[in-house]
Amino acid sequence: MQERASRTRRVILHAAAETFEARGYAATSLRDIVDLEGVSKGALYFHFPSKEALAIAVVKEHYDLWPEVITRLRPRYPRAVRLMLELSREVARLSRESVMVRAGIRLVLERNLIGPAVPRPFVSWITATEMLLGESREQGDLLPGVDLENMARFIVASFAGFQQISEVRNRHGDSSQCVNTMWQCVLPSLVNGDCLSEMASLVHGASGRS
Amino acid sequence: MQERASRTRRVILHAAAETFEARGYAATSLRDIVDLEGVSKGALYFHFPSKEALAIAVVKEHYDLWPEVITRLRPRYPRAVRLMLELSREVARLSRESVMVRAGIRLVLERNLIGPAVPRPFVSWITATEMLLGESREQGDLLPGVDLENMARFIVASFAGFQQISEVRNRHGDSSQCVNTMWQCVLPSLVNGDCLSEMASLVHGASGRS
Amino acid sequence: MQERASRTRRVILHAAAETFEARGYAATSLRDIVDLEGVSKGALYFHFPSKEALAIAVVKEHYDLWPEVITRLRPRYPRAVRLMLELSREVARLSRESVMVRAGIRLVLERNLIGPAVPRPFVSWITATEMLLGESREQGDLLPGVDLENMARFIVASFAGFQQISEVRNRHGDSSQCVNTMWQCVLPSLVNGDCLSEMASLVHGASGRS
Amino acid sequence: MQERASRTRRVILHAAAETFEARGYAATSLRDIVDLEGVSKGALYFHFPSKEALAIAVVKEHYDLWPEVITRLRPRYPRAVRLMLELSREVARLSRESVMVRAGIRLVLERNLIGPAVPRPFVSWITATEMLLGESREQGDLLPGVDLENMARFIVASFAGFQQISEVRNRHGDSSQCVNTMWQCVLPSLVNGDCLSEMASLVHGASGRS
DNA sequence: ACTCCCGGGACGGCCCGTTTCT
DNA sequence: AGAAACGGGCCGTCCCGGGAGT
């Protein structure tokens, strides 16, 4: 019972993510979704009462990922700057490899088409980044005079912009390189010399500046 | 005759931009557009043979803006670095003030829903930026070892990301400040000390780093 | 154009009446209606924004008939008792001959499925009957002690019941005979001897009592 | 086991009657029915193979009532005229108090939506009434020249019409008074003077005619 | 020349009446 | 007897042509 049901649910959710990611919320028909994996319309309706609910489920699926990621990485990297760096890499990797993540991101950006139940985009990322920047300052890695709030927004913005661009150019090909480039540009304006030289080797990939 | 016709055309185009910008291509019905300004469906179909054509017209309207902007600004700022900076400010201003521009940007991002007649997003911006970076290098302003292609993409990415974020947080409120923040972060990794100190005062707004 | 439009509207309205009358509101699909006369769904949608609106239009069409009927008959029959009699015959005749009337009656009975915009059934008939009974009393035709309100309801009830029954037995065959039977039963309890003998010949049809 | 099963069956049947009575056959979804009492769809389909079967079961439940009623009342009232009178009162009472009866009546009227297995409405009532009228004639209570068939139909029609009307006006409030009114109007045209004066006190309620 | 009324199909999302697995 | 899945149909309405009107 429960096993088959939850498998069907996952199949539907995956097909939905696939289609939502490719075409967006409004241009996706439920027909597209059910045809993709051969499930029936009734099965969809059984698990999700509406298109909106399906989209929200996709978003939730992808949102539930972040706490897991952060608790997995945090013990490994006590230094907040390093943690941010690895976090961004992990997010980039997930974006590259998981349709669910990409779909979730896209749907969140289209939240005004779906409903207020979808969380606002970026805000959780920004606050998380701001928090980590605060830790970095306490750890003495930051340059003096860095405006935490604006910097957090800038980091998230660059990152988001990169995701969008790399999706257009080469299908999620060099996103890891993009992240390196980003940090190469950001770190000099963010951390002090000691930290910078320590981090240098981590973002040495042949990008931005050799 | 022709005068009224072309005015109707503009009215339709504007209403289309308004709606496309707010809801995206797929979620916009032609009914929404014609109801917005009270024109009739027949009038719409006289000027634009299809929804796609209408969207393309909006995109074109906004694309025709860039050459005009660049030819207007270029003579004023012979130094390429400065030109890039002012250009980005102008683009941010236009995004803030013109629905047509915002609609064009959104539609371009949704080009796969509309048709191949819509130009790919970012590419023209990236090549333009890369070109300007090349000029900057010839003018001796760039740091050695900057990878032009990656840097161009990074700049455009940050910029695009910021547009998206500022739209979410505060309705296009502080986008000028965002641009300053961006350049404060980017310039130190991009230009040499002389140029940096000359540009410093231009991006002094209390953001990123004081 | 206007001519074609109004013709299409009438065709749709008629097809709707046909189907509503046969199957009721809930069991009628718009598909049934448009297929009946070969009009398209778009045509239907143009004239009627919803199924509910279509039903309401049918009801209204049939409601607009009664004032016309009453103003046509009243001058011919100054005596209220006689007017009631002829009115009931006319209504029976219309029920027999006009789908629109039958559909209207059925839809009114199903008003709780359709919406509050549909008028409540019977009430207008009852008040009209009550009014005519009042006139009859003033004309000295009524027996003493007749309760106007209850009698009006009884008359309408009998009449409505007969419509329903005759629909079941023989497709609207002998409804005129039914009306005669009804009055033969009702008049002796309603009007005084003089009036009764004057009316007798009008309801002499071989029914109820020879 | 059997006890629980048959109780579930009754619960479903009752819920079905409730919903069918309120919304009619076509507008009632099985979902509505099972949700009303919290039973599962599986349970419904265990007891009733289809929606049609469920409706038929409701109708049968209500049809099985009449023989019981008639065998209960007949010995008490040997005089056929009196029996008809009391029968009509009992039916009115049942209509007022039992959802099952009301639902059965409504479903029977919608038999063409359900299927030929549902009995035709009125016919059994009419034949029963006709039979009782025959008995009355043999008992010497009827006026000469009464057309039994037409009179039977008139009686049933008035009765049915009253049920419908009283449902609209006041939720099954004064249906007993309605029955009195009906007989006050009908009896003078039906029975002879002796019988009439004997029955008078039974229908004396302040209605129709004092 | 330009506008608009009117009509045409085709899905869209929702949900319904039913079986099939447990 | 219940959980799960199945198609199909309903209403809304969308994007769009042709013909009448000005």
pLDDT tens string, chain C, 210 residues long: the values are 678 899 999 999 999 999 999 999 999 999 999 999 999 999 999 999 999 999 999 999 999 988 899 999 999 999 999 999 999 999 999 998 999 999 999 999 999 999 999 999 999 999 999 999 999 999 999 999 898 988 998 899 999 998 888 776 665 456 677 888 889 889 988 999 999 999 999 987 644 444
Nearest CA in chain C to D123: C169
Q: Chains that contact C by 3+ CB pairs under 8 Å? A: D
Residue B5 CB neighbours (<10 A): 12
Contact indicator for A164, A133 with CB cutoff of 8 Å: no
Pairwise CA distance, residues B193 & C158, whole Å: 103
Is residue C156 less than 8 Å (CB to CB) from chain D?
A: yes
Please, how many CA atoms are within 13 Å of residue C180, restricted to the half-sphere of its CB?
17
Task: Give percent of chain A above pLDDT 70.
Answer: 93
Going from the C-alpha of B192 to that of each of A54, A188, B121, B141, C209, the distances in angstroms are: 52, 13, 31, 6, 117
Going from the C-alpha of C66 to that of each of C83, C118, C180, D49, D63, the distances in angstroms are: 14, 16, 21, 46, 38
Pairwise CB contact (< 8 Å): B208 & A154: yes
B159 or D4, greater pLDDT: B159
pLDDT score recorded for residue D178: 81
Element (H, E) at A141: none
Residues of C in contact with D182 (CB under 8 A): 154, 157
Q: What are phi and psi of A25, to 5 degrees?
A: -65, -55
CA closest to C1' of E2 belongs to B5
Within 107-126 of B, beta carbons closer than 8 Å to A belong to 109-110, 112-113, 120-123, 126
Mean pLDDT in residue range B86-94 = 92
Indicate the SS3 state at residue D29.
Answer: coil
CA closest to C1' of E12 belongs to A29
Which residues fall within 8 angstroms of residue D41, CB to CB, at 6 or more apart? D30, D31, D34
D6/chain C closest Cα distance in angstroms: 31
Element (H, E) at D40: none
What is the sign of the dihedral through the CA atoms of B89, B95, B97 and B101? positive
Residues of B in contact with A110 (CB under 8 A): 24
pLDDT score recorded for residue D4: 67
Nearest CB to D23; choose among C113, C184, C209 = C113
Q: The tokens 């699909």 sit on which residue?
A: C29
Residue D205 CB neighbours (<10 A): 17
Nucleotide nearest to C40 (CA to C1'): E8
Contact indicator for D57, D107 with CB cutoff of 8 Å: no
Which residues fall within 8 angstroms of residue C191, CB to CB, at 6 or more apart? C81, C136, C141, C142, C143, C199
Which residues fall within 8 angstroms of residue D118, CB to CB, at 6 or more apart? D55, D56, D59, D107, D108, D111
pLDDT score recorded for residue B177: 76
Task: List pLDDT tens digits, range D125-146.
Answer: 999 999 999 999 999 999 998 9
Going from the C-alpha of C190 to that of each of A158, C81, C133, D150, the distances in angstroms are: 91, 10, 9, 20
Q: Is the CB of C35 under 7 A from strand E?
A: no
Q: Is the pLDDT of residue B3 over 80?
A: no
pLDDT score recorded for residue C210: 42
Q: Is the pLDDT of residue B11 over 70?
A: yes
Residues 11-50 of B with CB under 7 A from strand F: 28-31, 41-42, 45, 49-50
| d(CA A163, C1' E15) / Å | 39
CA closest to C1' of E16 belongs to D29
Pairwise CA distance, residues A44 & A42, whole Å: 5
Residue A62 CB neighbours (<10 A): 22
Pairwise CA distance, residues B25 & B81, whole Å: 36
pLDDT tens, N- to C-terminus, chain A (210 residues): 678 899 999 999 999 999 999 999 999 999 999 999 999 999 999 999 999 999 999 999 999 888 899 999 999 999 999 999 999 999 999 988 999 999 999 999 999 999 999 999 989 999 999 999 999 999 999 999 888 988 898 899 899 988 888 776 665 456 677 888 889 888 988 999 999 999 989 887 544 444
Averaged pLDDT score across all residues of chain D:
89
Task: List pLDDT tens digits, range B64-75.
Answer: 888 889 899 999
CA closest to C1' of E18 belongs to D50
Rg for chain C (alpha carbons), in Å? 19
Low pLDDT (below 70) residues in chain D: 1-4, 168-175, 205-210
CA closest to C1' of E11 belongs to A29
Nearest CB to C27; choose among D109, D113, D150 = D113
Task: List pLDDT tens digits, range B168-180.
Answer: 666 545 667 788 8
Residues of A in contact with B207 (CB under 8 A): 147, 150
Pairwise CA distance, residues C156 & C127, whole Å: 10
Residues of C in contact with D173 (CB under 8 A): none
Nearest CB to A145; choose among B109, B120, B210 = B210
Is residue A1 less than 8 Å (CB to CB) from chain B?
A: no
Within 4-33 of A, beta carbons closer than 8 Å to B belong to 22-27
Task: List pLDDT tens digits, range A143-176.
Answer: 998 889 888 988 998 999 888 887 766 654 566 7
Contact indicator for C17, C100 with CB cutoff of 8 Å: yes
Within 40-99 of C, beta carbons closer than 8 Å to D belong to none
pTM of the model: 0.90
Pairwise CA distance, residues C14 & D12, whole Å: 39
